[in-house]
Amino acid sequence: MHVFVTGATGWVGSVIVRELLDAGHRVTGLARSEEKADALRRAGAEALLGTLDDHETLAGAASDVEAVIHTAFDHDFSKFVENARQDRRAIETFGAALEGSDKPLIVTSGLGALSLGRPSTEKDETPADSSNPRQSEIAVRAFADRGVRASTIRLAPSVHGIGDHGFVPILIRMARETGVSAYIGDGENRWPAVHRLDAGRLYRVVLEHGAPKPIYHAVAEDGIAFRDIAEAIGRGLGVPVEPREPDHFGWFASFAGGDFSSSSRITRDMLGWQPTGPSLLEDLARPEYYNA
C-alpha cells in the first residue's frame, strides 16, 4: 500500500514510517526542509517538500496514494489556537481530496479533552462543541459519511521514550528551574502513557486492518498518578517533591492537574495490539531521560 504520512520525521511519525516500510508498504512523507527530506530518503521513504499550509500539495498527495496518516502538529503552545486551525484545515483538505474513494484517512488527536472522572473509552466522542481548540477528531468525523474511512488515534498525554520532547520533559524543565518536582492537591489525578514504539506500531495495525472504526486509543497504561510521576522526576533530578498551587505550573496547570485516565481495551481486543515497551516510570528511572 502507498501511504502518505505527515509529521514523517517526528517523534511518532518517524516510527510509523519505519513500521510501514518494514512491513513492505511504500511511504511518501511530507518534509518541511531538504534536511528532513534527506532523512526520509535515507530511511527508504519518498519525500514531498511542503507544509500543512500547502493545501494544493496535500490534496495532490492524497489523491495519488492509497491512504493518508496525519500526525503533524505544531506544538508551540504560545500559538496553540492558530496551530489547531492549521491542523483542521489540513484535515479538511485531505478529506475533500479523498471523498468518495473509501481510502483510509487516519488522523491524530489527544486524550486531554476527555477528563470524565472515569477512564474514557473509544466509545466516548469528543463533543462537537468542545472548548478544546484542537478539533482534529471532529474535523475528520465529518467525512465518515462521505466515502472516506475516517479514523482518529488518540495519543496518551505521555508518549514516552529516550529523546522525549513532550509533556514529561516540560515537567522536568520546570523541576530544574524551580528546584522542586511538584504536583497539585493530593496528586492522585492520572495520566495515561504509551511508549512511542507502541504508538507508532498502532498506526500500522489500524491501517492494515482497514481502519474500520472511528476511534482508537494509543494507551499502554490507563492512568499513572501524577504524584508518582513527580516523585520519579524528583528522584531523577535529586530535588524535593512537594504539592504546589496550580499557578506554579503557569499555562501547564490544566494538564498538570487533569485526570485523563483512559482505557484501550476496545482497541486491543479489536486489533490484537499489545504494548510491549517499558512503562513511563521505568523510562523515568533511566538517567538518559534527564540529559536534555
186 with 117, same domain? no
49 with 87, same domain? yes
Q: Where residue 58 sits, what CATH number does that domain have? A: 3.40.50.720
* Amino acid 67: pLDDT: 98
Helix 226-237 to helix 167-178 angle (10° resolution) is 60
CA distance 193 to 170: 15
Classify residue 271: in a domain, yes or no. no
78 with 132, same domain? yes
Query: What value, to the nearest 5°, has the Cα angle with vertex 127 and ends 139 and 138?
Result: 5
Classify residue 120: in a domain, yes or no. yes
Classify residue 273: in a domain, yes or no. no
Classify residue 272: in a domain, yes or no. no
170 with 197, same domain? no
> Mind giving me the DSSP string for 60-106?
HHHHHSSEEEE------GGGHHHHHHHHHHHHHHHHHHHTTS--EEE
179 with 126, same domain? no
106 with 7, same domain? yes
Q: Which three cell numbers stand for residue 170?
A: 516540560
Q: What is the DSSP letter of 272?
A: -
Classify residue 214: in a domain, yes or no. yes
For residue 49, the tally of other CB atoms under 10 A from its CB is: 13
* Amino acid 225: pLDDT: 98
- 262: β partners: 120
94 with 19, same domain? yes
215 with 250, same domain? no
In angstroms, what CA-CA distances link 95 with 2, 57, 89, 90? 17, 14, 10, 9
CA distance 269 to 123: 14
CA distance 158 to 155: 8
How would you classify residue 135: left for phi > 0, otherwise alpha for psi between -120 and 50, otherwise beta? alpha
* Amino acid 74: pLDDT: 85
Encoded amino acid at 240, one letter: P
179 with 206, same domain? no
Classify residue 266: in a domain, yes or no. no
* Amino acid 103: pLDDT: 96
Q: Where residue 179 sits, what CATH number does that domain have? A: 3.90.25
150: helix, strand or coil: strand
Encoded amino acid at 229, one letter: I
* Amino acid 145: pLDDT: 87
Classify residue 269: in a domain, yes or no. no
Q: Which three cell numbers stand for residue 234?
A: 524528583
Task: Find the domain containing 213 and state its range.
Answer: 2-157+193-221
* Amino acid 233: pLDDT: 98
Classify residue 128: in a domain, yes or no. yes
58 with 199, same domain? yes
In angstroms, what CA-CA distances link 255 with 154, 249, 291? 16, 9, 23
205 with 252, same domain? no
Residues in Cβ contact with 70 at an 8 Å cutoff, skipping those fewer than 6 apart: 5, 6, 7, 90, 91, 94, 105, 106, 107, 108, 136
286 with 207, same domain? no
Terminal CA-CA length for the chain? 37
pLDDT along the chain (292 residues), means of 10: 97 98 98 96 97 97 97 84 92 96 95 78 81 82 92 96 93 97 97 97 97 94 97 98 97 93 96 97 96 74
Query: What value, to the nearest 5°, has the Cα angle with vertex 120 and ends 252 and 76?
Result: 30
Question: What is the tally of structural domains in the chain?
Answer: 2
